[in-house]
Amino acid sequence: MTMYPNKVEECLNESLRKLQLEYVDLYLIHFPISIVSTGRDTYGHPSVDYLEIWKRMEDQHIAGKAKSIGVSNFSIRKVERILRNCRVKPANNQVEMHVYLQQKALVDFCTQNEITVVAYSPLGCRGYNEFLSKLGQPTKKLPDMLNNKTVVSVAKKHSKTPAQVSLRFLLQLGVAPIPKSVTPARVKENFDVFDFELDEDDMTAMRALEVGNSARICDFKVFGRITSHPNYGF
């Protein structure tokens, strides 16, 4: 569904009604491209500018319906454009981030501009191929950072799981990871990351696992012709 500027308030009002709230703590632009699906084709709408969406987001913040507003999947260049043209700057940028895709330049930029960073898929996304299959799309080889020998070694050193040290690594980079699990034991395990600290040797070893964009899981290529849009790219 395409997000037009005049839909920003409507969608937020609908969410507030369903949640029975007067405001949300954070309201995000999920992607810098408005996506159009015709049933047989999917592409980025050529005339919808995320800056116009942002202006309407600001209106919701000023009206008190969103305490904070932010973005998701935005590169440095795209955030810079908002900063040059905003009344209210983004409070948060939510991006894919894990030991193989650490996005140091983006995190440093956001930190310098007092924009918090949230890491989605911090442990990978094992269900992504199932999602692709449901859409009739070819599956892809997914990075398996939890079985990486360095991650496993650091985990054994601290008597923790690979997932726990992976989350702790991101926390010590100043990033807020948001892992997803439907298993109660794993949800509890993912919270249990505040009673230990990785030392500099651990951090150096895990920083060295950076692969870059080739390790990106959510590249949004599933949306067909979206890759030809001028705002595509990370």
Q: What pLDDT does residue 141 have?
A: 79
Percent of the chain's residues with pLDDT above 70: 88
Within its chain, how far is the Cα of 47 from the centroid?
Answer: 24
pLDDT, mean of residues 169-194? 93
* pLDDT band, residue 128 (cuts 50/70/90): confident
Whole-Å CA distances, 109 to 47, 93, 122, 157: 28, 11, 20, 32
Instruction: Enter the pTM of the model.
Output: 0.89
Q: What pLDDT does residue 231 have?
A: 76
The Cβ-side half-sphere exposure at 215, using a 13 Å CA radius, reads: 19
- Where would I find the beta strands (DSSP E) of the chain? 24-29, 35-37, 42-44, 66-72, 92-96, 116-120, 176-178
Q: Is residue 30 a known part of a binding site? A: yes
**Rg, Å, the chain Cα set:** 19
Q: What pLDDT does residue 44 have?
A: 52
To 10 degrees, what angle do helices 162-172 and 149-157 make? 90
Domains located in the chain, CATH noted: 1-90 (no CATH), 96-226 (3.20.20.100)
Rounded distance, CA 143 to CA 125, Å? 9
